[in-house]
Amino acid sequence: MGVEPFGRTCPGTSPAAEVVGSYSDDREGFEVTVAGRLTAIRGHGKSTFADLRDWTGKVQVNMSQNRLGDERYGLVGLLDLGDIVAVAGKVAKTRTGEVTVFAEKLTMLSKALLPLPEKFHGLKDIETRSRHRSLDLVANPESMEHALNRSRILTAIRAFMGGRGFVEVETPMMQSIPGGATARPFITHHNALDIDLYLRIAPELYLKRLLCGGMERVFEINRNFRNEGIASRHNPEFTMLEAYQAYADYEDMMRLVEDMVTTAAREVLGRLTFEFGEHRLDLTPPWPRMRFAEVMEQYAGVDMFDEQAVRAKARALGVEDADSKHPDALVDDIFKETAEPHLVNPVFLTHHPASLAPLCRRSPDDPRVSERFEVFVAGFELANAYTEQNDPVVQRQELESQLRRRDEGTVGRVDEDFLLALEHGMPPAGGLGVGIDRLLMVLLEKTSIRDVILFPLMRPERPQDMAERPEE
């Protein structure tokens, strides 16, 4: 037929949702070009109706032998679900009242060599949806909307931070010493320099260097990598927002994160209440505050400063190494086992055991605890923030103490470049880290992190399954 099955550009197209939404009786007959994927075809002799979907929505198109002519209408008979086409014509309503583009020109843009899955209109299997995201986006308009809302929420967060005087920066993803958190890193090798490098577990130490250099409000929306397990709330590659503000403390970070989350939710989604599994979450500020010690007493029935009681509770819960592990680490284990699931609506949990946060300033009122908070919602940690430690002598002592305990994730070295910057002076500061993927789980009402990451890490398919395609 002389038809190129994989067409070229198609300029001047109108979004499907805009065509439908802008229609009015006094505009009937206006001309448009729409392009997208065919998701339904209904043949009626010499006239064929089809649903054409783009990323804004769908619009009905009508292709008739009268308007297209015999030759072009012959192409209609070769169309399949999944084909990507362009249709140019006039817009009007059918007798049933549906806004429709009546085609005067039909152009093939991309012929689908494989059919859409048989269960196209109900592709529900989470494994298939995560592994074959392109099919998920085509088959489930909700998935497309969530993907677009992820982008909108990130845009809103960037605008919010810019409005508060923060500048967005970029720090290295490959680091000679992984710092800023305790986690097992991924290791890679740089051939030219013949050195091992680590994919970053956090950008914190580099962002603090910028504070030392005089950049007083910085943030980064970054990819972090932690060589750990995969679960409904964990993906080894994930997105974080980290922000640092000179001349601020953890109290300032509380206000910042509360305002940021609620602003993004209102601007993008227009609400502050969300369904999350069996829970109804209310993000309306102000969020309550609780001390870590209070929560331990309430849910674990233990005084977190009583080492003997802590070890006894840990043994009762079956915590590994309950007799030898650092008592503060056991407190954290007990907290996760007993209290964490009960923290459903957002709450600021403050004043953690000091040794759990070596980069944090200790409370002047009680040096056993730190000027730190975590935001918990839906039973998981959403954000973590400090009054940052800016005393280089104390900071060195804390980092070396952490190394002596050989916490999981430490690599046996203190970051001397970071300490050198600190010795030249870092202003008092507050720092904040927010798990963007977890925030999106809440705002998009998804209980699995895989539903808010376009391409989550998946276990490879079995070799015998590698050639298999989704159900056709």
287-329 residue pLDDT tens: 999 999 999 999 999 999 999 999 999 999 999 999 999 999 9
pLDDT at 135: 87
The residue with greater pLDDT, 405 or 257, is 257
Could you tell me which residues come within 8 angstroms of residue 55 by beta carbon, excluding any fewer than 6 positions away? 144, 148
Residue type present at position 11: P
Residues 100-154: tens digit of each pLDDT: 999 999 999 999 998 887 654 555 667 777 888 888 888 888 999 999 999 999 9
pLDDT of 405 higher than 80: no
The pLDDT, as a whole number, for residue 180 is 83
75-101 per-position pLDDT tens digit: 999 999 999 999 999 999 999 999 999
* Predicted pLDDT of residue 472: 43
Q: 409: pLDDT confidence band, cut at 50, 70 and 90?
A: very low
Cβ proximity of 98 and 60 under 8 Å: yes
What is the model's pLDDT at position 470? 52
Region 353-376: what's the mean pLDDT?
A: 94
pLDDT at site 54: 96
Give the chain's mean pLDDT. 92
Q: pLDDT: is 180 or 58 the higher one?
A: 58
Instruction: With a cut of 90, say whether residue 277 has pLDDT above it.
Output: yes
Determine the average pLDDT of the residues in 402-417.
Answer: 70
Computed on alpha carbons and rounded to an integer, the radius of gyration of the chain in Å comes to 28
pLDDT value of position 402:
78
pLDDT of residue 145: 95
- Rounded to 5 degrees, what are φ and ψ at 330? -65, -40
What pLDDT, on the 0 to 100 scale, is given for residue 423? 96
- CA distances from residue 211 to 162, 171, 176, 231, 440 in whole angstroms, order as listed: 17, 13, 20, 35, 29
pLDDT of residue 463: 55
Determine the pLDDT at residue 458.
86
Q: What is the pLDDT of residue 115?
A: 84
pLDDT confidence of residue 211 = 98
- Quick one: pLDDT band at residue 26, thresholds 50, 70, 90? confident
The percent of residues in the chain predicted with pLDDT above 90, rounded, is 79
> What pLDDT was estimated at residue 163?
98
Burial status of residue 262 (CB atoms within 10 A of its CB: 0-12, 13-18, 19 or more): middle
Q: Is the pLDDT of residue 219 over 80?
A: yes
Q: What is the pLDDT of residue 179?
A: 85
Helical pair 436-443 and 141-163, crossing angle rounded to 10 deg: 120
Q: For residue 411, what pLDDT is reported?
A: 57
pLDDT of residue 122: 52
- Model pLDDT, residue 202: 94
